[in-house]
Structures are given as C-alpha cells and as structure tokens.
Amino acid sequence: MPYLNSLRNRFIITLSIMLVLVMSILVFILHQLMIPNLISEERQSAHVYANALQMSIDHHARTLSDMAHEWASWASTRDFMENHLPDFPQTHITSAVFDEHGADLMLITNAHDGVTWVAGRNPVTGAFTSCATPTGECQWALDQVRQIQRQLPETDTTARMGVSPAFGLLSTWPIAHRASTLSSGKLTLVRFLPGQWQLDPADTASTLTLSAVRQDMTAGNNAPVVAIDSISDDSLRLTLLRDSATPGYQVMMTTRLDRDGLRDGIQRFNLTMLGALALLLVLMVIMLWVFRAMVLRPITELSRYASALRQSPGEHLDAPPPWLQARGDELGIMAREFQTLIQELNERNAHLKALTNRDALTGLGNRRLLDRQLPRILSLTHRLERPVALIMIDVDHFKLYNDFYGHPEGDQCLKTIAETLGDIFQRESDLVARIGGEEFVIVLPDFDLDRAMDIARGVCTAMEAQCLPHEPSPTHRYVTISAGVAISSPEHPLSGEALIKQADEALYQIKKSSRNAVGCAAPS
C-alpha cells in the first residue's frame, strides 16, 4: 500500500496503536484489578473497624464488671447482707457514687435471689432513688428488677447486654459470706444504653443503632457475628450480633460506613486515565514534531545531497556545500540542538546536584551536606588549633503542634525557624542544616563551649521572640526549642559521627529534664 510506504504515516499508525493499547490496558486494570482490590480493601477496613467496635464494647463491659466486682467485694457490702451495717445504703449507695462510676441501676439480692436493695436513677425523670423494694419511689425499676431476677447467673460474672425492658449492660457478682465460702447474695450493676449508642463522643461514625432480634437457635455457634452489606454506591451497613442476657434474643447493632475509599480510588484512577490520555496525545504531537525535525528533514536533506552527488559522478567536490560547512543544514541544526541539550542537561545536573545538598522545605543544608562537610570542617579547624562547636536543635512538642495546627502550619513553622537561623548564622564558615523532621544542626568553627552555650541560648531566645503560637504545648504558649551542645577540640578531637552523637545525647538529656533550655555534653 502506497500509504504505508511513508515513514511518517507508519510512525503515526504505530503511535495510534500504542495509544489504543495503553488505554485498553488501563481500562482492563480498572475493572479487573483496581475495583476488586479496592472492594477487598474496603471489606478489610470494615472488618478492622468492626473489631475496634467489638473491643470498645468489651472495654465498656469489663469496666462495668470490674465496678460490680469491686462493690460486691466491699466488706461493707458483706456486713450489710449479714445485717451488721444497716445504714449501708444511706452511706454508700448515693447519687454521687452512681455519678462517679457511671452506673444507672444497682440491685442487691439475697441468697434466694430476693430483692434486698434497689437503687438507681429514673431514666424518665432523672431522679435518684434508693429503696428496699422496687415500689414507691423505686416503682420505675420494677420491670428491670424482675427481668434481672429471671436472668441472674449462677457463676458467670461476665458483663452481658440486656434488651428488655431497656437496652443496657449488666454485670452480676456474688457477695461472699464472711463466715463461709457460700454466697450471701448477688450484686448487679446496670448501665442503660440508648437506642443510638455513641461509643466515643469524638467519633460520630461510632454511633450504633441497637435493636433486639430473635436468636436463630438452628444456627448454633455458626450464626454470623459481623455482617457487611452494601446499601448504595456511597454507603456500607455494618451489623454486629452479640448474645444478650435475655434468653432467645440477641442484640443487633448497626452502623453506617462511608465508601470514601472506593469512591476516591475509582475517581483517582479515572483522573489518572484522563491524564494519561492527555499526556499520550501531547506526547504523540511532540513526537511527530520531533520525528519530523530530527529525522525526516535531516534524512531528506541528506538524500538530496546524495542525489546531487550521484548526478555528477565525474565531478570532484572539494568540500561539502556551504550550508554544510557553515553547519546551516539540518545536520548542523541537529548538532547545535544536541549541544544545547547537553548544556541544558549539564545545568540541570548541576542544579540537581545542588538540590541533593539542600533541604527542599527550608532551603538549608541537609544531612547529606552535613555528613560530607562536617569531617572537612573538623580537619581544617583543628589544623589551626581551634575548636569546633556543634549545636543540635529540636522543636519542643512539634508533634502536638502538627496535630493541633495541621502539617501546612507545621511546615511554615519550620521555615520560620530556618529563616531565624539563617539570620543569626551568616558567616561563610558556619553550617546550618536540617537533619530530620524538626531537628536542626549548627556547626560553628572556632567556637569554644562557653561561646557555643551562649549562642545556643540566644537562638532559644530568638525563637521564642518569634511568638509563634503553640497552644497545646505544656512548656510555653509560643513555639520553643531545646538545644544540645558538643565540642570537638584539637586536644580531644572527635569524629563527625561522635560529635553529632554527643550533641544528640545532650539534647536528649535536656529534653528529658526540661524543655526550652540548653544542655551540653560532658567533656571527653
């Protein structure tokens, strides 16, 4: 086919086939790999979240059980059950005690499970009542007391969930008899649960909707504990089933989970596909232009030159045409373009080399520069019989700063510190570097320990004078720093690694004992 004889046309066809192939691969990856993996990760995250909810519920249950055990173990409780302490309810079962421990109902029964005392807070009126029987002021607790009496375990002290007449956590512990190993009664604590139970007030996603369901007795121990259902493209429903103290019933807890991970993953991949398509189209245009400029035109000119040579086989050409000598032909243009590209590449390499020695955020030197320059500074300075000081700085409570203000503000704080250090240390011989997240190092040739300590204190003062707010800091309302100082002297020279280690140990000690202060390493 004449159309395919053209090198340019074949190149265009090849690029088009590659474009279609790449897009087909991306679509295949999306539907066959990306989406299934995202769904799998979503399910795993939901199970992890379910486990966290179960652990939180178990924690609440253990807390209630420990509280009931503590009350049942009191000597005063045993004395009350044995009629040795008749004023026990008035002195120990009070509204303040219930408020302190977060309990809503207490039931004390005798050895025959009869009611000895009942106390709690009326869930309707909020009034605290304490009675010998669930009558009168304690009439509100009658249904709950009857339900508890029907469910009193013989030996199990594990906190359970009740569903009737109200949702709640309850734990029962025996009250040991003082004179024997027999139980003189039982003490049951109840904490009522709302139908919308929010485990953690700071986490609105932890709100569980409680409901009572009939237990599937045919399922045995194989009944599902955790179920994850897709409600819509935006939501999942997480269902937890737990056994209850009410025979024949289970507590079903449901919560809604957003499918942000799946949605964001697909959206990111779609944007990636669109970006890849746009990039490929741009690359196709660029490649066509480059192919024409760097391949087709030089080859065409060379073909014309060769054809001219063939048309005059008997003639002797002393030199190529003037445009070739003057490098005005396509080959000359290509050579100059290559030279330009090489020059630009060298400049970029030099720029990249400089970047490898600089911290991208602050513009200060980085750990690579410090490791390379510190041994040289030590060697040159010690030859002149002068000491070298190294100051290691750490921002106090920077993690709290990041958590409170956010990482962008944290980055700005580090930039401000870097600018402050740059304003203070302007000697060409000084080296200021950022070696970690909030750690900086200053190398000062010809500085002894006293001068280094003074300058370190000055840096702390200068940083505090910046008045950068730091509300969560337990040290100061403004951002402060701590510094560790180490010295390498000609009499006791240290390697760069040892000098850094001494300064780091000094910084550790000062941070351990206090903050916003300066410490020095012990002399060698």
DSSP codes, 436-476: SSSEEEEEEET--HHHHHHHHHHHHHHHHHT--B-TT-SS-
What is the C-alpha separation between 199 and 515, in angstroms, rounded? 36
Location of structure tokens 């580090």: 414
Q: What CATH number did the domain enclosing 438 receive?
A: 3.30.70.270
Q: How many other CB atoms sit within 10 Å of the CB of residue 92?
A: 15
Chain centre distance of CA 348? 35
Domain identity same for 173 and 239: no
Write down the pLDDT at residue 315.
Answer: 46
Same domain, 470 and 485: yes
Beta strand pairing call for 207-214 and 388-395: unpaired
3-state secondary structure of 404: helix
Q: What is the DSSP string of 343-385?
A: HHHHHHHHHHHHHHTB-TTT-SB-HHHHHHHHHHHHHHHHHTT
Let me know whether 375 and 491 are in one domain.
yes
Is 149 in contact with 113 (CB distance < 8 Å)?
A: yes
380 and 490 part of one domain: yes
Task: Find, among 467, 415, 411, 418, the residue nearest to 442 by Cα.
Answer: 418
Q: Does residue 278 belong to any structural domain of this protein?
A: no
Same-domain check for residues 107 and 176: yes
On whether residue 341 sits in a domain, the answer given is no
Do both 187 and 111 map to the same domain? yes
Q: Quick one: 132 and 209 in the same domain?
A: no
Residue 36 contacts by C-beta under 8 Å, 6 or more apart in sequence?
A: none
Residues involved in catalysis: 438
Tell me if 218 is assigned to some domain. yes
Do the domain assignments include residue 32? no
Q: 247 and 179: one domain?
A: no
Classify residue 248 as left (phi > 0), alpha (psi -120 to 50) or beta: left
Any domain includes 63? no
The residue out of 241, 258, 275 marking a domain boundary is 258
Local confidence pLDDT in tens for the 524 residues of the chain: 555 666 677 777 887 888 888 888 878 887 777 778 877 888 888 888 888 888 888 888 888 888 888 888 888 888 888 887 888 888 888 888 888 888 889 999 888 888 889 999 988 888 999 999 999 899 988 888 888 877 766 656 667 777 667 788 888 888 877 666 677 888 999 988 888 888 764 444 578 888 888 876 545 544 446 788 877 777 888 888 888 777 778 888 888 888 777 778 778 878 887 888 888 888 888 887 877 766 676 666 556 655 655 665 544 443 344 444 444 555 555 444 544 544 565 577 667 777 788 888 998 999 999 999 999 999 999 999 999 999 999 999 999 999 999 999 999 999 999 999 999 999 999 999 999 889 999 999 999 999 999 999 999 999 999 999 999 999 899 999 999 999 999 999 999 999 999 999 999 999 888 889 999 987 65
HEC-encoded secondary structure of 268-302: HHHHHHHHHHHHHHHHHHHHHHHHHHHHHHHHHHH
d(CA 495, CA 390): 12
CA angle 351, 353, 358 (to 5 degrees): 90
* Domain final residue pick, 159, 193, 227: 193
Residue 28 to residue 258: CA distance in whole angstroms? 26
Q: For strands 168-176 and 183-192, give the pairing.
A: antiparallel
Integer Cα distance of 199 and 483 in angstroms: 43
Closest CA to 247 of 212, 280, 219: 212
Q: How many CA atoms lie less than 13 Å away from 53 in the CB half-sphere?
A: 27
pLDDT at residue 320 in the model: 43
Decide if 433 is inside a domain.
yes
Residue 499, classed as helix, strand or coil, is: helix
Tokens of 430: 């000084």
Looking at the structure, do residues 187 and 231 belong to the same domain, yes or no?
no
Q: Cα(72)–Cα(119) distance, rounded to whole angstroms?
A: 15
Closest CA to 16 of 299, 297, 287, 292: 287
Range of the domain at 513: 367-520
- State the Cα–Cα distance between residues 379 and 182, nearest whole angstrom: 83
Is 194 within 8 Å of 90 (Cβ atoms)?
no
Residue 494 tokens read as 């240290």
Kindly state whether residues 79 and 179 are assigned to the same domain: yes
**483: burial class by Cβ within 10 Å (0-12, 13-18, 19+)?**
buried
* Confidence (pLDDT) at 217: 53
CA dihedral 307, 312, 313, 317 (to 10 degrees): -90
The domain boundary residue, chosen from 240, 258, 276: 258
Rounded CA separation 209/178 (Å): 44
95 and 211 in one domain?
A: no
What is the count of structural domains for the chain? 3
Instruction: Give the other-Cβ count within 10 Å of 311's Cβ.
Output: 8
Whether residue 165 has a cis bond before it, omega within 30° of 0 = yes
Residues 179 and 80 in one domain: yes
Residue 492 in any domain: the answer is: yes
Bridge partner list, 211:
252
Is residue 250 included in any domain, yes or no? yes
pLDDT at 457: 94
